């Protein structure tokens, strides 16, 4: 069975829309293929599972050359909001779920969801700040125990 | 590509085990197809998903993804994974005799 993937552990480390979606799509896609999947949120990636913040995830408009407009422009007030709105409406047309809906769906597929202890401590957060789908706040050592025997994907 | 015989019919299957000719499928093949994917007991909910997959495929040209199944088949995502632990859309498509659904979400 060396040519099949049985398990993946996906780390989401950034908090922008364009940084969160790929990890979620990979996790959801893994479950759809019958692959066991864990999601591990660290640093600003924690925003994806933060009760108050996960509905307000923004597209990165500064330091994002993929947008093909001047960095100076991307930093103007409101630009990130407008671009996020544009991106969200495009995704809605393609029936791509919003981040909160997507995370709930991925939890329903049976994927594990964990927050990184070091980041949680750093930002002064606690379990109650996260959506109920988050199973636990775990250390890096515990993450490796959970990831054992599978592939690790860092995003 | 491989061939196999189910319900006294010679079938052509893709490398992943999906039907190459969906029109060859009949309902009496379902128990054997399900068994091959580790499903020994077929419930009404299994049948509901399998029939839905086929209907969608013939209407739209591709089988639904898990998200679409969850929204439109009447079976929730959680239950879909209980029915087909190895991937609801993928395994149900195999058992329903249609090609693998294409779609990222």
User: Could you tell me what percent of chain A has a pLDDT over 90?
Assistant: 92
Check residue A71 and give its pLDDT. Answer: 86
CB contact under 8 A, B66 and A110: no
Q: How far apart are CA A103 and CA B14, in angstroms?
A: 33
Contact B81, B42 (CB under 8 A): no
Q: What is the DSSP-derived secondary structure letter of residue A5?
A: -
Residues 6+ apart with CB under 8 A from A120: A46, A126, A137
- Nearest residue of A to residue B101, measured between CA atoms: A32
Active-site residue B38, yes or no? no
Contacts of A32 in chain B (CB under 8 A): 65-66, 87-90
In which order are the strands placed within the sheet that holds A112-116?
A136-138, A112-116, A36-41, A7-12, A151-154
| Residue-level pLDDT at A133 | 97
pLDDT confidence band for A2 (50 / 70 / 90): low
| Inter-chain residue contact B77 with A28, CB threshold 8 Å | no
Show the domains of chain B with their CATH numbers.
Answer: 27-95 (1.10.10.370)
Mean pLDDT calculated for residue range A126-141: 97
pTM: 0.93
Give the residue extent of every domain in chain A: 7-58+98-154
- What local confidence, expressed as pLDDT, does residue B92 receive? 97
A34 touching B, CB under 8 A?
yes
**Rounded to an integer, what distance in angstroms lies between the CA atom of residue B25 and that of residue A77?**
59
| The CATH number of the domain covering residues in A7-58+98-154 | 3.40.1260.10
- Select the more confidently predicted residue: A69 or A145: A145
DSSP E strand boundaries for chain B: 2-6, 9-13
- Quote the pLDDT of residue A69: 86
Tell whether A110 is within 8 A of chain B (Cβ): yes
Q: Which helix (H) or strand (E) holds B36?
A: helix B30-36
Question: Could you report the predicted ipTM of this complex, rounded to two decimals?
Answer: 0.92
Contact B1, B14 (CB under 8 A): yes
Task: Test B76 with A33 for CB contact under 8 angstroms.
Answer: no
Tens of pLDDT along A50-94?
A: 999 999 999 999 988 999 988 899 999 999 999 999 999 999 999
**Taking Cα atoms as reference points, which of B75, B91, B99 lies closest to residue B35?**
B91
> Among A25, A96, A109, whose Cβ lies nearest the Cβ of B81?
A109
User: Distance between alpha carbon B46 and the CA centroid of its chain, in Å?
Assistant: 9
Interface mutation vs chain B, best among A34, A103, A107, most B CBs within 10 Å: A34
Measured CA angle at A53 (ends A52, A59), to 5 deg: 160
């Amino acid at each position: 069975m060396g040519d099949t993937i049985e398990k993946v552990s996906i780390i989401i480390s950034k908090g922008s829309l364009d940084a969160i979606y790929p990890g979620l799509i990979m996790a959801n896609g893994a479950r759809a293929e019958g692959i066991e999947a864990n999601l591990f949120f660290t640093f600003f990636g924690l925003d994806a599972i933060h009760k108050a913040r996960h509905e307000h995830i923004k597209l990165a408009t500064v330091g994002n050359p993929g947008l093909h407009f001047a960095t100076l422009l991307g930093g103007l007030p409101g630009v990130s909001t407008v671009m996020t709105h544009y991106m969200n409406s495009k995704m809605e047309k393609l029936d791509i779920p919003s981040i909160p809906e997507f995370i709930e769906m991925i939890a329903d597929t049976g994927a594990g969801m964990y927050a990184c202890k070091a980041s949680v401590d750093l930002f002064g957060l606690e379990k109650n700040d996260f959506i109920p789908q988050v199973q636990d706040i775990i250390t890096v050592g515990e993450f490796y125990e959970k990831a054992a025997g599978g592939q690790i994907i860092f995003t | 590509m491989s061939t196999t015989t189910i319900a006294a019919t010679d079938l052509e299957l893709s490398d992943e085990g999906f039907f190459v000719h969906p029109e060859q499928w009949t309902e009496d093949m379902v128990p054997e197809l399900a068994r091959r994917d580790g499903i020994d007991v077929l419930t009404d909910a299994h049948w509901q998903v399998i029939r839905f997959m086929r209907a969608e495929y013939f209407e739209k040209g591709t089988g639904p993804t898990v998200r679409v199944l969850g929204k439109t088949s009447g079976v929730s995502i959680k239950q879909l994974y209980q029915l087909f632990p190895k991937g609801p859309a993928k395994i149900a498509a195999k058992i329903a005799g249609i090609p693998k659904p294409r779609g990222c979400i």
